[in-house]
Amino acid sequence: MIKLVHNEIIKLLKKKSFYIVTIIFILFCILTNVVYKTPFNNSLNEQIDIAKLKEQTAKLNLDNEEELLIYIENSTQIELEELKDKYTSSIQEYLITHFLYSDIYNKYESKYIYEDNDLYTKYEQTVSNKVNYIKNENFKFFLEERISYLEDRVSKTVGIEQVRYTKLLEYTKYRQKNNVPYDYNNYLNNSLDFLEENIYEYINLQNDDNLTEDEEKRLEYLNENMSIHEYVIDNQKDILNEQTLREVLINFSGEFGIFILIYTIMAAGSIVSEEYQKGTIKYLLTKPHKRISILTSKLIVLLMLIPLIMLFMCIIEIIIGGLILGYDSLCIPVVLYKNNLLYTYPVITYLVSLLVSVFPMYLIVGLISFMISSITLSTSGAITIGFLAYLLGNIISNLALIYKLPIFKYFVSLYWDFSYIITGKTIAYNITLPISFIIIFLYIVIILCITYVTFIKKDVKNI
């Protein structure tokens, strides 16, 4: 048996197609990591065509009350955009966007609505002073101003309003204590932004006993994301950075799963049929090997191949990803929200767990190709049907989530992916782990029985 297994491994290593797929995988791996590294604009502000806005504003009739209000709004927006064009760092852009609007608006309002030159001059000076702070990226001035405002609001409000302002003050003092700048490129700032922007709605939903279905979904979303962003600021871990090796490994199955499938189906679909196509099956049968031993050796190689391919691909990705994206992110844990709790995993532990959880899927698809290869003796047919089985399985799994028809319960694709245990994602029919194991075991037994019976009875006289 050992000799048969050894021979099967040698045959696989001699396949040119394996090396072609490997080269394609390496190139795809490089491309994937380059794409992950590509910077993106963290600013949430839409680009505004200033020239077009000025043209529209010039046509407004200032004697018309509604158009006058539009004029003030447009003038404010134009001045903000011109300042952003002048001061372009991410800190400056943030400060202009978040701390100048009301003063600039009040400036134009005092000039055109109230026609108060003193008030206009006052706001103009305020804007000028703040622009100087922005020019020097002095975010601490705005931070101290914000703290004073929130302390005042906390002392003058009660109930939910006071709770909201208390939380906002807590976040702002966190900024001050940890010297977190107002900066789109700072991950702590971005988490604090999310918390500050959503805390009021979050508190309201938590204190509402008559939520609609949409509000319950919104509260569920906020529960998860508020918890994750709280984790970020409490632990000062950049767990939401998508431009890291860690993020590629988290999404490993989604990014590279197709290659695991290709390797598996390519090996399983040819490991039997090629013996007949090349006529080498007669040579094997003239040796003192039973047919059951020959097929078992091929099955053992297939069972060994899947985890080895996964390991090989992970090593290649870690090497290439590390060279392109760096290795620092591997020390940052994976944080998942499940059952109203946060769970943390080391990156490699999470990756291994995910790959182990999807192993049954690749195994069953591989065994289907293995079976078809034994029945039809057609490599192309076995590979094609293997891919169709995988695609059909995914389609049925998605349909089961939507329609929940009883007939879907009989398809193994509902049971072959255990990643929901780790990720907490929704699955159809609330399937339990023991049932999944039983269904998978039954499918494997049926597939192998058909395969062995067919192979043992196969006529080789005309080969």
Mean pLDDT of the region 325-353: 93
Inter-residue long-range contacts of 111-118, CB under 8 Å, 24+ positions, other chains counted: 112/62, 112/68, 112/71, 112/72, 113/68, 113/72
- Using CA atoms in the order 18, 19, 20, 26, what is the torsion angle rounded to 10 degrees? 110
Q: What is the 3-state secondary structure (H, E, C) of the chain?
A: CHHHHHHHHHHHHCCHHHHHHHHHHHHHHHHHHHHHHCCCCCCCCCCCCHHHHHHHHHCCCCCCHHHHHHHHHHHHHHHHHHHHHHCCCHHHHHHHHHHCHHHHHHHHHHHHCCCCHHHHHHHHHHHHHHHHHHHCCCHHHHHHHHHHHHHHHHHHCCHHHHHHHHHHHHHHHHHHHHCCCCCCCCHHHHHHHHHHHHHHHHHHHHCCCCCCHHHHHHHHHHHHHHHHHHHHHHHCCCCCCCCCHHHHHHCHHHHHHHHHHHHHHHHHCCCCHHHHHHCHHHHHHHCCCCHHHHHHHHHHHHHHHHHHHHHHHHHHHHHHHHHHHCCHHHHCCEEEEECCEEEEECHHHHHHHHHHHHHHHHHHHHHHHHHHHHHHCCHHHHHHHHHHHHHHHHHHHHHHHHHCCHHHHHCHHHCCCCCHHHHCCCCHHHCCHHHHHHHHHHHHHHHHHHHHHHHHHCCCCCC
The pLDDT, as a whole number, for residue 343 is: 93
What confidence score (pLDDT) does residue 372 get? Answer: 93
Indicate the pLDDT class of residue 45, thresholds 50, 70 and 90: very low
Q: Which residues pair with 336 in a beta bridge?
A: 343
**Half-sphere CA count of 312, side-chain side, radius 13 A:** 16
Higher-confidence residue: 294 or 46?
A: 294
Mean pLDDT for the stretch of residues 424-443: 84
337: three-class secondary structure by DSSP: strand
Whole-number Cα distances in Å, 296 to 2, 112, 284, 303, 420: 11, 88, 13, 10, 32
Q: Which amino acid is at 426?
A: T
Using DSSP's 3-state secondary structure scheme, residue 183 falls into coil
Give yes or no for residue 358 having a pLDDT over 90: yes
pLDDT of residue 40 exceeding 50, the answer is yes
Mean pLDDT, residues 387-391 taken together:
93
pLDDT tops 80 at residue 185? yes
CA distance 49 to 41: 18
Instruction: Note whether 287 and 296 are within 8 A (CB).
Output: no
Over range 189-214, report the average pLDDT. Answer: 93
pLDDT per position as a tens digit, 140-179: 999 999 999 999 999 999 988 999 999 999 999 999 999 9
The pLDDT tens digits of the residues spanning 369-386 come to 999 998 988 889 999 999
For the segment 328-339, the average pLDDT, to the nearest whole number, is 93
Per-residue pLDDT at 423 exceeds 60: yes
User: Would you state the pLDDT for residue 41?
Assistant: 56
pLDDT greater at residue 165 or residue 276: 165
Of 44-58, 265-279, 339-353, 401-415, give the range with the top mean pLDDT.
339-353
Predicted local distance difference test score (pLDDT) of residue 462: 56
Residue with tokens 């037994």: 445
pLDDT at 463: 55
Average pLDDT, the chain: 90
E strand intervals along 225-340: 334-338
Quickly tell me which residue has 């255990």 as its tokens: 418
Q: Percent of the chain scored above 90 by pLDDT? A: 70
How buried is 400 (Cβ within 10 angstroms: 0-12 exposed, 13-18 middle, 19+ buried)?
buried
Residue 282 predicted with pLDDT over 70: no
Q: How far apart, in whole angstroms, are the C-alpha atoms of residue 410 and residue 392?
A: 13
Confidence of residue 39 (pLDDT cuts 50, 70, 90): confident
pLDDT at 442 over 90: yes
State residue 335's pLDDT score.
94
| pTM: predicted TM-score of the whole model, two decimal places | 0.84
The tens digit of pLDDT for each residue in 100-149 reads: 999 999 999 999 999 999 999 999 999 999 999 999 999 999 999 999 99
Rg (C-alpha) for the chain, rounded Å, is: 31
Does residue 458 register a pLDDT over 60? Answer: yes
**Could you say which DSSP state residue 331 is in?**
G
Look at residue 42 in the predicted model and tell me its pLDDT.
47
Q: Is residue 267 scored above 50 in pLDDT?
A: yes
Contact call for residues 268 and 369 (beta carbons, < 8 A): yes
* pLDDT at position 286: 65
The predicted model gives 254-258 an average pLDDT of 93
pLDDT in tens, 296-316: 888 999 999 999 999 999 999
pLDDT value for 411: 87
pLDDT, position 44:
44
Find, among 136, 152, 198, the residue nearest to 171 by Cα: 198
Q: Which of 188-197, 253-262, 391-400 has the lowest mean pLDDT?
A: 391-400
Tell me the pLDDT tens digit for each residue of 13-28. 788 889 999 999 999 9
More confident residue, 415 or 284: 415
Q: What is the pLDDT of residue 47?
A: 62
